[in-house]
Amino acid sequence: MTAVTDGWRPRLALASASPRRFALLQQIGVVPDAVVPAAIDETPQRGEKPRALVTRLSREKAKAALKVVRSDPALAGAFLVAADTSVSVGSRILPQTHTVDEAAHCLRLLSGRSHRVYTSVVVVTPGDAFRQRIAEARVRFKRLSESEIEAYLGSGEWRGKAGGYAIQGLAGAFVVKLVGSYSAVVGLPLYETAGLLVGDGFPLHFSWANSV
């Protein structure tokens, strides 16, 4: 599909209910026309490595959301963006935290150590071709005191977050060093996402888009 850029653009659906991913797309001038959360089982398979996990889950999210998008006449010809993020210490994949105990365990594990964040993004074209890229970032936390951990737990920012923290919030003060894509740690690698969209004809209105 060749996109027309004179004020018209194809529609785009986001396969995520994450307000962070929605905001990141807005940051590059893309406002999703629809949000289609993909409810899938995100449990890692036995022996599954972090990179393999995000590769699999982002594609499964895209496939699940695509069924909804293609059944909606209002989204005919829409692009679809799906993503998945994993935080790991070594080969150990940390969970999305839903309880205080889970979050506390993750924060104590990350304290004073380096960890890796993997985010896979999938773009599905109007012709149902799947394009995928993975971004990896290395993050090092300062050594956290018990009072800092307790204060962060009290903030509630850890709820539903991979590894029990949100780098764009209070936990940004824990980061000693970050190598890689900041936006990927937040939940959507913008360089990779923009490259996939532009490469398949989705118009992004900033100067370097045509050279991606």
Active site residues per annotation: 84
Structure tokens at 200: 């398949």
Contacts with 192 (C-beta within 8 Å, 6 or more apart), sequence order = 121, 133, 134, 135, 181, 184
Q: What is the pLDDT of residues 64-123, one digit of tens each?
A: 999 999 999 999 899 999 999 999 998 899 999 999 999 999 999 999 999 999 999 999
Look at residues 76, 81, 54, 48 and name the one whose alpha carbon lies nearest to residue 136: 54
Tokens 């896979």 correspond to what residue?
Answer: 120
**CATH number for the segment(s) 12-211:** 3.90.950.10
In angstroms, the CA 19 to CA 160 distance is 12
Mean pLDDT, residues 153-182 taken together: 96
Range list of β-strands (E), the chain: 12-14, 34-35, 79-89, 92-94, 114-124, 130-141, 175-179
Q: In this predicted structure, what is the pLDDT of residue 90? A: 86
In angstroms, the CA 66 to CA 88 distance is 28
Instruction: Answer whether 0.85 is exceeded by the pTM.
Output: yes
